[in-house]
Amino acid sequence: MNFGLITKQTCEAAQEASDFIRKESLTFDKSKVEHKGLHDLVSYVDKTSEKILVDRLGKIFPEAGFITEESTVARSDKEYNWIIDPLDGTTNFIHGLPCYCVSIALMSAEKLEIGVVLEINFNECFYGWHKGGAYMNGKRIAVTSTPSLQHTLLATGFPYTDYSHMEEYMKVFDYCMRNTRGIRRLGSAAADLAYTACGRLDGFFEYGLNAWDVAGGALLVKEAGGRVSDFSGQNNFLFGAELVATNFSVYNEFMEVIKKCFNH
Question: Which of 224, 10, 6, 219 lies closest to 102, judged by CA?
Answer: 10
Cis peptide before 99 (omega within 30 of 0): yes
| Span 213-222, pLDDT tens digits | 999 999 999 9
Residue 172 or 46, more confident = 172
pLDDT score, position 148: 97
If you average pLDDT over residues 75-103, what whole number do you get? 90
The domain locations on the chain are 3-140, 149-262
163 pLDDT band (50/70/90 cuts)? confident
Nearest to 73 by CA among 59, 83, 61: 83
Say yes or no to pLDDT of 206 above 50.
Answer: yes
More confidently predicted of 161 and 124:
124
In whole numbers, what is the pLDDT of the chain averaged over residues? 92
> Mean pLDDT across the stretch 21-43?
73
Distances (CA, A) of 5 to 43, 115, 132, 173, 207: 32, 13, 11, 41, 33
pLDDT band at 39 (very low <50, low <70, confident <90, very high): very low
pLDDT over 70, % of the chain: 93
Across 124-138, average pLDDT: 98
Architecture of domain 3-140: 2-Layer Sandwich (3.30)
Kindly indicate whether the domain formed by 149-262 is annotated with CATH number 3.40.190.10. no
Chain centroid offset of residue 192 CA: 7
Share of the chain above pLDDT 90, in %: 80
Query: What pLDDT does 31 receive?
Result: 72
Q: What is the pLDDT of residue 65?
A: 93
